[in-house]
Amino acid sequence: MDQIQHKFVQVQGLKHHVAEIGAGPKVVVFLHGFPEIWYSWRYQMICLAKAGFRAIAPDHRGYGLSDPPPVPEKTTFGDLISDLLAILDFLEITKEPGRAEADFGRLDAKRVVRNIYILFSRSEIPIAAESQEIMDLVDLSTPLPPWFTEEDLATYGALYEKSGFQTALQVPYRSLQEYINITEPVVEVPALLIMGEKDYVLKFPGMEDYIKSGKVKEFVPDLDIIYLPEGSHFVQEQSPDEVNQLILTFLNTRIWSELLIQDHCSLSSYICGRSCSKVVVFLHGFPEIWYSWRHQMICLAKAGFRAIAPDYRGYGLSDPPPVPEKTTFGDLTSDLLAILDFLEITKVVLVAKDFGAKPAYMFALLHPEREPGRAEADFGRLDAKRVVRNIYILFSRSEIPIAAENQEIMDLVDLSTPLPPWFTEEDLATYGALYEKSGFQTALQVPYRSLDEDLSITEPVVEVPALLIMGDKDYVFKFPGMEDYIKSGKVKEFVPDLDIIYLPEGSHFVQEQSPDEVNQLILTFLNTRIWS
């Protein structure tokens, strides 16, 4: 883990944390979800770095070590996309608070992360009863997923202690519907989707059909989809070796092999940018931070790639935005752009997890050339570490955690419930520490309160190869229509060239649960679909 370097990039007045490992012309960017931070990609980053890739995993604004936005409740996915663009520009990579906060607030960040990894590593969507909150679904006696160590948990917990969960809950969950104003939402580059067959996400209504039917390829036509039979939602941490290999294969076969061919067609300025660097940026989800990509970053760096993993604004070590509740996916996208600009990166491969897929998708569309509420109150009752603990416990499960009417989501987890076996106390400490810094306001704004932002994208089809790795026990599958949406292939209507891989035992945090497997899948995708 010491091999992973950490940088801070100023984007729109916010300090964004970016984790990076590896060097060379092949760049892969990992985008985390919630409650993840860059840390959730740790396995994939290390793996890809070892395979010669440059792995990058930013913390979104308000996540991990990234600054929270001034008004977290106004944060949108558009912000995340802008952030990503800025980060890539900085790195010189060519571009192609509410109920949850309150629930999380009752617990320390480490416990929130622990709960999330436990809950969302399962194949069912964790749903709290009417009188419960999602955090109440995990008992302290519940063990962490076997692939998520106490050390991992300590890492997550420490970072979320810093950042808090406000920004993490804002983006993605409250800014999913932000309007982006993209008229042609089709991504025209190769993409790889590695997905655990047991990822709870497949349980969302229509999701499995959308992905497995190929409908997703309508928006990402050149998408490769690989399913890991035992994979959970955190597949890159659960099976890092497998995911790393899939990424490397995709990069080497679908990205840089094709780019080299095009380079001979007098497209070198477009293909290679300033130095033909192979840069991979990892975007975390929630409750992850850059750390969740640790395995992939190291792997890609060893493989000759430059791996970068930023903490979103308000996540991990990145500063929180001035107003976390105004943070959107657009902010995260803008942040990424600024980071890339700062790093002088002109071309980049994005690797995203959970809601990090949205800013990655938006970034691909927008740059093909290159209010605190119930959640805040719930999270606020607990320290950041406990909030993260609860989240990892709750959302590592295969069912959607649903709190009862007189409960908050944090009430669903008991202190005796153990962390998922693959999420360590060290991981929890890492998350907790970063969320203590950032808080959860921005995290609750994006993605959860900015899902409806209007991006003004008229043709939302991603035309590049993509890989979805999903755990079959990811609770997301339990959302109405989600499993059908993904497994029927409907998702390929938007990502036509999408590969979907299901990990049978995979939870929502599949990249941390099965880092080796996820790593191998990522490496394979990178080497076969991207840089073959």
The catalytic residue positions are 354, 448, 508
Task: Round to whole Å and give the CA distance between 323 and 63.
Answer: 13
Give the pairing type, strands 498-503 and 223-228: parallel
Contact 217, 500 (CB under 8 A): no
Helix, strand, or coil (residue 225):
strand
Q: Which residue has the tokens 């008991």?
A: 414
**Is there a cis peptide before residue 143, judged by omega within 30 degrees of 0?**
no
Identify the bridge partners of residue 130 per DSSP, sorted by sequence position: 404
Provide the sign of the torsion angle of the four alpha carbons 112, 83, 235, 325, taken in this order.
Answer: positive
C-alpha separations of 146 from 118, 237, 361, 397 in Å = 10, 11, 31, 13
Query: Kind and range of the H or E element at 195?
Result: strand 191-196
Helix, strand or coil, per DSSP, at residue 238: helix
**Dmax over Cα atoms in the chain, in whole Å?**
64
Q: State whether residue 52 is helix, strand or coil.
A: coil
Please name the residues in contact with 233: beta carbons below 8 A apart, sequence gap of 6 or more. 120, 121, 196, 199, 200, 201, 354, 395, 396, 470, 471, 474, 475, 476, 506, 507, 508, 509, 510, 513
- Between CA 89 and CA 73 the distance in angstroms is 26
- What is the DSSP code (8-state) at residue 32? -
411 token code pair? 């009430």
**CA quadruple 248, 253, 256, 260: dihedral, nearest 10:** 160
Strands 5-11 and 14-22: antiparallel
Contact in structure between 252 and 278 (CB atoms under 8 Å): no
Do you find a cis peptide bond into 418, omega within 30 degrees of 0?
no
| CB 65 within 8 Å of CB 163 | yes
Q: Rounded distance, CA 143 to CA 449, Å?
A: 31
Q: Which residues does 170 contact at the CB level (< 8 Å), separation at least 6?
A: 62, 72, 73, 75, 97, 314, 324, 325, 326, 327, 328, 441, 442, 443, 444, 445, 446, 447, 448, 449, 450
Beta strands 14-22 and 54-66, pairing class: antiparallel
